């Protein structure tokens, strides 16, 4: 397995490799968990060479977000990537990706204006800018993203289509802990007791899905009210940022659940902002 830190070197190698091999890219911000490893395995199954990038992208963090304390474990990540079957780890330097004159951004419009986009202004502009740069550097045939960040995957799909990147976007299912809590690098902030409360997102989503399936309740305001109640029961100090029922492709809010409805939510649990989502049927 190769470790590459220079943009030029990565670009040169990618140009050579892409003549004979297919390249799969898994972009990450490091501190890898089982969820990331499942993305690497998915990329491995569909491409000859798997490149995993590790870069904590400052552009996608707001001024009050956890950029400086975002967890890092480069040595452990490299070992995990090797074990999962990665071929190249690309760890670009911040100054090389964003030099002091940097002034070009990639921005997707409408679907970045709701949910995460509304709560975290500028976040998706940071994501699409860095992902577009990674696409230009690594020249992948496919790139794999997780369903947990499903709005991110939808935004990237839109960018790929709008800007004609010849790249297939693969979305891999959310990997969960035994309790149902979606895997996230931010879970490491919790004590074991707090982690038990962090399961409130998953419990609320499953409950809403059951209400739709078994009780045939479709009204999203009723479902939202029940979800809020159950979150409050499990984690009385939780702060709900949003619970949104939208159509899957365009992320427009819906009043009544149908087969294309996804429920997304962001909740702050003991100071840690968690997101999760689930198709409702």
Sites of contact with ligand PAF (CB under 6 A): 27-29, 57, 60, 127, 130-131, 149, 152
Label residue 251 left, alpha or beta by phi (over 0 means left) and psi (-120 to 50 means alpha): left
Please say which residue, 115 or 130, places its beta carbon nearer to ligand PAF: 130
Angstrom distance (rounded) from CA 281 to CA 277: 12
Q: Is 73 exposed, middle or buried (0-12, 13-18, 19+ CB in 10 A)?
A: middle
Q: How far is the CB of 131 from ligand PAF (least distance, A)?
A: 6
Radius of gyration for the chain, computed over Cα atoms and rounded to the nearest angstrom:
19
Q: Which helix (H) or strand (E) holds 62?
A: none
* Active-site hit among 33, 36, 123, 270: 36
Residue 150's closest CA among 239, 232, 244?
244
Please say which residue, 184 or 220, places its beta carbon nearer to ligand PAF: 184
Q: How far is the CB of 239 from ligand PAF (least distance, A)?
A: 22
Would you say 14 and 95 are in contact if contact means Cβ atoms under 8 Å apart?
no
Neighbours of 203 (CB within 10 A): 18
Is residue 123 among the annotated active site residues?
Answer: no
Please say which residue, 14 or 208, places its beta carbon nearer to ligand PAF: 14
Q: How far is the CB of 225 from ligand PAF (least distance, A)?
A: 31
Q: How far is the CB of 42 from ligand PAF (least distance, A)?
A: 15
Please say which residue, 4 or 212, places its beta carbon nearer to ligand PAF: 4
Residue 170's closest CA among 86, 82, 46, 263?
46
Kindly list the catalytic residues.
36
């Amino acid at each position: 397995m190769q470790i590459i830190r220079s943009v030029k070197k990565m670009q040169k190698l990618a140009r050579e490799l892409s003549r004979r091999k297919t390249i799969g890219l898994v972009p990450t911000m490091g501190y890898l968990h089982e969820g990331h490893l499942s993305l690497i395995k998915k990329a491995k199954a569909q491409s000859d060479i798997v490149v995993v990038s590790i870069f904590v992208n400052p552009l996608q963090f707001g001024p009050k977000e956890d950029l400086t304390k975002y967890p890092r474990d480069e040595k452990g990540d490299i070992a995990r990537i090797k074990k999962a079957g990665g071929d190249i780890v690309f760890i670009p330097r911040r100054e090389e990706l964003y030099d002091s004159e940097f002034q070009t951004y990639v921005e997707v419009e409408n679907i970045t204006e709701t949910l995460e986009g509304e709560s975290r202004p500028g976040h998706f502009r940071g994501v699409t800018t860095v992902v577009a740069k990674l696409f230009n550097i690594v020249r992948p045939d496919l790139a794999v993203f997780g369903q947990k960040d499903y709005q991110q995957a939808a935004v990237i799909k839109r960018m790929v289509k709008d800007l004609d990147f010849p790249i297939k976007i693969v979305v891999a299912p959310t990997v969960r802990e035994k309790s149902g809590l979606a895997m996230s690098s931010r879970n490491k902030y919790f004590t074991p007791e707090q982690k038990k409360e962090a399961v409130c997102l998953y419990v609320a989503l499953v409950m809403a899905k059951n209400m739709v399936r078994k009780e045939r309740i479709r009204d999203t305001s009723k479902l939202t009210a029940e979800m809020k109640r159950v979150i409050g029961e499990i984690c009385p100090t939780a702060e709900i940022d949003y619970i949104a029922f939208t159509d899957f492709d365009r992320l427009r809010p819906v009043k009544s659940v149908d087969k294309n409805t996804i429920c997304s939510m962001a909740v702050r649990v003991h100071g840690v902002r968690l997101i999760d989502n689930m198709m409702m049927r």
